Structure 1
Amino acid sequence: MQWSDVITDPALKDLPYKIETNEYGQLVMSPHKRRHAIWQGEIEWCLRQCLPQGRTAPEFAVDTDSGTKTPDVVWYSRDREAQLLADQRLAPEICIEVLFNSKTEREMATKRTLYFAAGALEVWQCDDSGALRFFTPAGEQPQSTLAPQFPRQLD
């Protein structure tokens, strides 16, 4: 199944799941959780405060070599916006995943690799307590290099 099929399928339109595809074109669905949505909203708000020269978006589709992935929150500069709209294989500068017990470290390492291969500069992970980890292609960092004032712990 191609991503264009997923987004135009009326049967998938209002499902209460995060939808991605894997490398075989199969749908991968994860149920939404309220705390997950709360952290998504907090991350977007904080990003807008720290990096007002760009935009944030939830569930932003990125076509990768292993299917279409949808980071929970992204930030991209206005300079990159036109490129992102023209090329779904290009990742925003920051891709953020909000983790809950359904995502393994192995899955997250794979997603980081895919997002970096698609052009992300940073990948962040937020756990279910609101603690953040920041990654660049060089590995884990003590803070974001693009938004150094972003908190390591959300309230």
Structure 2
Amino acid sequence: MEWAEVINNPLLQNLPFKIELNKWGKILMSPASNNHGRWQFKVGKLLDEKKGSGEVITECSINTPEGVKVADVAWVSDEFIEQHGFDTPYHSAPEICVEIVSPSNSAAEMYEKIALYLAQGAKEVWLCDQDGKISYFSADGKIASSEQV
């Protein structure tokens, strides 16, 4: 499937799952919990407060060589918006991509997403665990704190 088919398909609307595509266009679904949504909001609010200008996007779709991945939260600069608008999916990753790690996510899956977002141009990728602890990653690997906020 193509991403436009996914977002326009009435059968795939309002599902209690996060939907992504793998590199063959097959749908991947991950269940979302209330705690997941809670951290998604809190991290988005933190980015909005710390970054000032720019936009926070939840459920931000990004086309990667491994299919369309959906960052739980992303921050895009005004310059990014000028260049890409609100294309769906983005073909370049926003400056900051955040994944809220669910119990169903494996470490390998998370490290793959980190690598994919960075390869698509993200400056940082944040992983937020179920307790709200955030780990930060840049092209240099794991970093002690964000260099973007």
TM-score by length of 2: 0.95
How far apart in 2 are the matches of 1:95 and 1:80?
13
Tell me the distance in 2 between the aligned counterparts of 1:103 and 1:130.
Answer: 16
SS at match of 1:11: helix
Aligned to 2:52: 52
Q: Which runs of 5+ in 1 are unaligned?
A: 148-155
- Pairwise CA distance, 1:97: 0.1
Structure 2 CA distance, aligned partners of 1:113 and 1:84?
Answer: 21
Give CA-to-partner distance per residue, 1:86-142, whole Å, 9 cap, x none: 572111000000002111111111111110111101000000010000000110011
Letter matched to residue 66 of structure 2: S
**1:82 to partner: Cα distance:** 2.6
RMSD (Å) for aligned C-alpha atoms: 1.1
Match of 2:99 among 97, 100, 105: 97
**In 1, Cα distance between equivalents of 2:15 and 2:58:** 16
User: What whole-Å deviation, never above 9, does each CA across 1:15-65 have from its counterpart, x for those lacking one?
Assistant: 111000011111001111000000000001111110011110100000000
Q: Which position in structure 2 is the counterpart of 1:79?
A: 79
- Cα distance in 1 for partners of 2:91, 2:119 equals 10
Normalising by the residue count of structure 1, what TM-score does the alignment of the two structures yield?
0.91
Q: Is the 8 A contact 1:84 1:92 kept in 2?
A: no
One of 113, 116, 137 as aligned partner of 1:114: 116
Please name the residue that 1:8 is paired with: 8
Determine helix, strand or coil for the equivalent of 1:70: strand
Percent identity of the aligned residues?
37
1:83, distance to aligned residue in structure 2 (A): 2.3
Count of residues paired in the alignment: 147
What is the SS of the residue equivalent to 1:71? strand
Say whether residues 1:124 and 2:126 are aligned partners.
yes
Distance 1:83 1:111 in 2: 23
2:114 and 2:99 mapped to 1: Cα distance?
9
